[in-house]
Amino acid sequence: MTEDEDVLIDSNILVYAYDNDEKEKNPIAKNLIAKILSGEMEIYLSTQNLSEFYYNATIKIKQPLKESEAKEIVSGIVTLSNVKIVKINGNTILKAINISSEYNVSYWDALIAAVMKENNIQTIITENEKDFKKIPWLNVFNPFTKNKNNGFGIAKGSKPLEKEDVEHEL
């Protein structure tokens, strides 16, 4: 992954940043989110990513966020100047249907791939390597891969961000 690449952050990264039960993934995701919050990194998110984050953070994780907390997080994210929100439209849906069939991936993953293609975004940061690697025009970067020095993990000797630190920045 290079600095000049357009990058989309998948929903699972956002969710892990607020899921304190994920002891290994949480600090890595928080560190990545901190880089975004500090303006160190420009990223894209789709409207689908934000919706999935809200739903999963308030319903699916073991210690769900209050709806008001999740709403505040989403509100903060959408106001950041270094976060570009890409929207899904009718053509995106039709492209997603084709991508899903052609590459044998779930419709929801295909929808993210379709919106990325429409917006010339080449790289996705996600845990879901298995499905996104099936789509040939995507570069897939998994920040949780242990044997890579990927620049997103917690540096040796540094203190991981706490939930309050990340929320405070929003």
Is 160 within a domain? no
Q: Is 1 within the bounds of a domain? A: no
Q: Using CA of residue 6, residue 54, residue 48, residue 109, what is the dihedral sign?
A: positive
Buried b (16+ CB within 10 A) or exposed e, 115-151: bbbbeebebbbbbbeebbbbbeebebbbbbeeeeebe
- Quote the tokens at residue 49: 């990513």
The candidate with the shortest Cα–Cα distance to 15, out of 94, 126, 95, 156, is 126
60 falls within a domain: yes
- Residue 151 phi/psi, 5° resolution? 80, -5
Quote the number of domains for the chain. Answer: 1
Residue 147's pLDDT band, with cuts at 50, 70 and 90, is: low
The mean pLDDT value for 160-168 works out to 42
What pLDDT sits at residue 5? 85
Give a yes or no: residue 34 inside a domain: yes
Q: Does the residue 138 lie in any domain?
A: yes
Q: What is the mean pLDDT of residues 35-43?
A: 93
Structural domain containing residue 136? 7-148
- 164 in any annotated domain: no
Q: What is the CATH number of the domain that holds 110?
A: 3.40.50.1010
114, part of any domain: yes
Q: Is residue 168 part of a domain?
A: no
